Amino acid sequence: MTILGAFMVPHPPIILPEVGRGEEARISATTSAYQEVARRIAELKPDTILLTSPHTILYMDYFHISPGVRARGDFARFNAPQVKIAASYDQQLVEEIEAEAIAKHFPAGTMGERDAQLDHATMIPLYFLNKLYTDYQLVRIGLSGESLLRHYELGQMLAAAANKLNRRVVFIGSGDLSHKLKGRWPLWL
């Protein structure tokens, strides 16, 4: 198998009712779109979610892949500590991606972990997905200051590793333009 689908999603914390406390109604179209993405991913029944986040470990010259067995996080930073997300990592796929990177002398791997907790750009997509589907493992990858071509090459390695292990994989790119809306939204976005 290879990558079954790819989705780009935003990660404004206000989208969670526990964080937004009514303000999430202002972005109900985004919530509806998120629910549709989660539905589509659940229908694909992936073994693994490959998720890139701009808020996990980030290096200018290296793609950090989160190591370990599992990770968890919460939304305490956004005044909702009761909202907790946990995920098990696909260690075998992480090892295969790292082996691909080493073989190609590509700057990616599990070195340089500074904070093992899940970040909000990872947890928000999982929050929606977990309502419909939980039978997956996660590979969390930090973006890099490398060129667009290098990001593309990483994508090729991710697909090759998934193919080699016969994984059913969905890619989620978590990004957010709401940082540009600070005049309209609370500053904690």
Q: Which of 36, 47, 27, 32 is nearest to 7 (CA)?
A: 36
**Burial bucket for residue 18 (CB in 10 Å: 0-12, 13-18, 19+):** middle
pTM, full prediction: 0.91
% of the chain at pLDDT higher than 90: 88
Q: Which amino acid is at 139?
A: V
Write down the pLDDT at residue 179.
54
Continuous H helices in the chain: 17-20, 28-44, 91-103, 120-130, 148-165
In a domain, 142, yes or no: yes
CB 64, CB 142: distance < 8 Å? yes
CB 137, CB 89: distance < 8 Å? yes
Q: Domain of 141?
A: 3-177
Q: Which two tokens stand for residue 56?
A: 């996990």
* CA atoms of 64 and 52, how far apart (whole Å): 10
Q: Which CATH number goes with the domain that contains 92? A: 3.40.830.10
* CA atoms of 176 and 171, how far apart (whole Å): 16
Residue-averaged pLDDT of the chain: 92
Q: Per-residue confidence at 178, pLDDT binned at 50, 70, 90?
A: low
- The 8-class DSSP code of residue 51 comes to E
In a domain, 189, yes or no: no
Q: Which of 63, 47, 43 is nearest to 140 (CA)?
A: 63
Place of tokens 């909702």: 80
In a domain, 184, yes or no: no
Which has more pLDDT, 2 or 107?
Answer: 107
Domain total of the chain: 1
* CA atoms of 140 and 50, how far apart (whole Å): 6
In a domain, 50, yes or no: yes
In a domain, 187, yes or no: no
Place of tokens 């991606």: 97
In a domain, 89, yes or no: yes
In a domain, 91, yes or no: yes
In a domain, 46, yes or no: yes
